[in-house]
Chains A and B, each alone.
Chain A
Amino acid sequence: MSLADEIQQVAKRYPDSKSAILPALRLAQEQHGWLSRAAIEEVGEALDLTPAYCMSVASFYDMFNLEPAGRHTIEVCTNVCCGLVNAQAVLESFERELGVAPGETTADGEITLRAVECLGACSTPTAVAVDHRYRQSVTPDQAASIVEELRGR
C-alpha cells in the first residue's frame, strides 16, 4: 500500500480527517527516516492540508525529525527521577561510545543519541528508549553492548 493509501485508511477512523495528521506524520517518518520537504508534501496531499500547515504541526512535537536522523535512536531519560540514580553517567557513557553529543548523529548516519524528558519508567532508572522500545535499569557499563547490538541490526 502506498503512503497516501495508508494515510487515507487511518483517516477513516476519525470524524475529521485532519485528526489523522499525527499518525500520518509518523507513517511518513517511518518510511522516509525523517520529515523531509517531500514527506511533508505527501502528508499534506493525502489529507488535503497545505505543507505549511503540516510543518507547523510537525514542528510542535518532539518525536518528529525535521532533519535527517540516524537509522537507530538511543534516547536517555535525564529527568529528575532517573537523574537522582545516575542518568547523567549513562548519557555520558553513550556519548563516549558513539563519539557524539546529545542531539547528534554518528558520522556514518547510523545512530542518533538524544536526552529526553521523563519516559514514565521511573521505578527502573535509568530508562533508555532504544529504537522507541524501553530498556529499564540501564547502567553506564551497558552502553557498549547496546551500541554493538544496534550496529549489528
Chain B
Amino acid sequence: MAAEASPALVLGGAEEQPLRDLASYRAVGGYAQLERARAMTPQQVIEELIASNLRGRGGAFFPTGRKASFIPTPDKIAKPVYITVNADESEPGTFKDREIMLRVPHRLVEGCLIAAHAIQSRSVFIYIRGEYSTEYDVLQAAVGEAQGAGLLGDVSIVVHRGAGAYICGEETALLESLEGKRGQPRSKPPFPAIEGVYASPTLINNVETITTIPVVLQVGPAEFAKIGVPPDSTGTRVFCLSGNVVRPGAYERPHGITVRELIYDIGGGIADGRKLKAVMVGGSSFPVMTPDEIDTRLDATSLGQRGLFIGSGVVTAIDDRACIVQFALRVAQFYMHESCGKCTPCRVGTRWLVQLLRAVENGSATEHDLELLLDVCDRIIGKCLCVLGDSAAMPVASCVTKYRDEFHEHLAHGGCPFGADSSLDRLFAPVDQHHLAPVAHEAGV
C-alpha cells in the first residue's frame, strides 16, 4: 500500500514542473489556505495543528501545534514574538528542504504567513544555509512576489543567509547566529518559546514542517491525522533516498512505508547488482540499520522500537563495497569538523573517536581500543549541551556493536581487509584540510 505513488501534498502540483512563480502556485490553489486561516482566530489555527498531530520534520519530531501553543499571546507579554524557519539544512544525506524551496517556494511562504497569524507574529526570519545560492534566489523571489501581491499584510519575511556551519541547524545555535554571534548552542532552559531571538518568544520550525501547514488546513486536520501511521506519525514525509541505489531522489510518501519498499520498489534496488550492507536512516546522526532490519516501517514508533530514528527522513543505502570502519571514521570526522568547541565531551570526544577509528583502520588498534571506542561514546551521549555530541557517538557506537566482526577482522588483519576495494577508501575529509596556502597575488592588501 505504502509503496504506491500516493498524491503528493507538500510537493503537490510540483511533480512535473516546479511551481516557482505566484501565478502557477495560485493555479493549484495556492494561498487559499492563508485566506481561510486569516478568517479564523489564531487559537483556532493552533487547534487545527494540534488536531493534525503534525510533528517537526527537522529531526526532533516535536508536535508543531503544541510548540506554537507555548508562545505567549500579546496580552501576556509586552515583547514582539518571532518566527524563525530553520532552512540551515546540513544533515548529511538530507536534501528535502532544498527540493521544497526550489519546487514549492510559495508554499513555504504561505506556511510562514499562516504560522505568523497563529502566534500573532509580525516578523519571520528564514535562516537558509550559506551554500544554498540558487535556493536563496528562488526563495527571495517568491517572498518579493508575495509582498508585491500584498499577501504579507503587516508581516515581514527576512531571508537570512548562514555562512557555513552545520551546528547552526541546532535551534539555539541558529538563534545565536541570527543575532550576529558565533553559532554556539545555548543552555536550555529558557526555551526559545520564552526567550528565543532578541530575548523574545520565538517559534522555530523546519522548512518541511512549515510547508506542511497549508497542507494540514487544505486536507483538514482530521483527514491529515489519518495519513501515515496514526496517532504519532501522521502525514507524509519527503524522504531523501541516496547512496548506492539505482534511482536516488526526493520521494514524498506517507509515514509507514518500509525501508525495503523505498530502496527496492521506489529506488530500483541496489546499483551495479551489489548487496546491501547497511542503511543510514534519519541522517548520519543516528544508529545505522542492518539489512535484516529493512522491513521496519519509517515512522517514529516502529523505528523507535529498534533504537532508530526518523530524523530528517534520510535513507542512504550502503552496498557491500563499503568498509564499515571507514564509514564510521568519515562520519566521526564530520562531527569533529562541525563541533563548535563549547563543551568538552563533544570537542574532545569527537577527536578521540577519529583517532581510535583511524587506529582500527590502520591496524594499530587492539581489542581494548574497541572497548575504549564504546566507552568514549558512552561518555559523550547525554553529556553535552546540545545533540551534536550524541550525533557523533550514536552512529559510531552502532557500527562497533552491529558490525563487530568487521572491526575484529581489521584487528586480525592488521588493518583494513578491503584495502583499495572499498568504495570509501582514502575518502578525504575537510577536517584534514589545512588553511589556505598563501597565494601570489594579495588582493586588497
- Chain B window 82-123, contacts with chain A (Cβ cutoff 8 Å), 1 for yes, 0 for no: 000000011111110110000000000000000000000001
Contact A118:B91 (CB < 8 A) given known A68-B441, A79-B334? yes
Number of A-B residue pairs at CB separation under 8 A: 212
Nearest A-chain residue to B437, judged by Cβ: A104
B90-A16 in contact (CB<8A): no
How long is the Cα–Cα vector from A57 to B180 in the complex, in angstroms?
8
Interface status of B434 (Cβ within 8 A of chain A): yes
Interface of B is mostly: loop
Chain B residue at minimal CB-CB distance from A107: B440
Cβ contact within 8 Å between B337 and A22:
no
Q: Please, how many residues of chain B have a CB less than 8 angstroms from a CB on the other chain?
A: 77
**Is B427 a contact of A83 with CB atoms below 8 Å?**
yes
Contacts of A139 in B (CB 8 A): none
Q: Please choose the segment from B157-165, B352-360, B379-387 that sits at the chain A interface, where 4 or more of its residues have CB less than 8 A away.
A: B157-165
Q: How far is the CA of A40 from the CA of B390 in the complex (A)?
A: 35
Q: Does A13 contact B (CB under 8 A)?
A: yes
B337 pairs with A117, CB closer than 8 A: yes
**Given that A36-B445, A81-B242, A115-B428 are known contacts, is A122 also in contact with B436, CB under 8 Å in the complex?**
no
The complex places the Cα of A69 from the Cα of B29 at a distance, in Å, of 47
Q: In the complex, what distance in Å separates the CA atom of A129 from the CA atom of B92?
A: 16
A84 to B327, CA, bound (A): 9
The answer to whether A117 and B166 touch (CB under 8 A), given A78-B427, A79-B92, A123-B241, is yes
Residue count of chain A within 8 Å CB distance of chain B: 68
Contact between B436 and A120, CB atoms less than 8 A apart: no
CB contact list, A26-42 vs B, under 8 A? 26, 32-34, 36, 38-39
Instruction: Give me the interface of A with B, judged by CB distance under 8 Å.
Output: 13-16, 18-23, 25-26, 32-34, 36, 38-39, 56-57, 60-70, 78-81, 83-88, 91, 100, 102-109, 112, 114-125, 129, 132-134
Would you list the 3 A-B pairs with minimal beta carbon distance, nearest first? Answer: A62-B164, A18-B180, A61-B163
New A-B contacts (14) at CB < 8 Å, excluding given A60-B184, A65-B436, A103-B436: A18-B179, A22-B160, A38-B444, A61-B130, A63-B131, A68-B441, A78-B427, A80-B93, A80-B427, A103-B437, A107-B440, A118-B94, A123-B241, A133-B134
The 25 listed contacts between A and B (C-beta, < 8 Å) are A16-B180, A19-B180, A25-B163, A60-B183, A61-B164, A64-B163, A68-B441, A68-B445, A69-B436, A79-B284, A80-B93, A80-B284, A83-B330, A85-B244, A86-B423, A104-B437, A118-B92, A120-B94, A120-B129, A122-B93, A122-B243, A122-B248, A123-B249, A133-B133, A134-B133
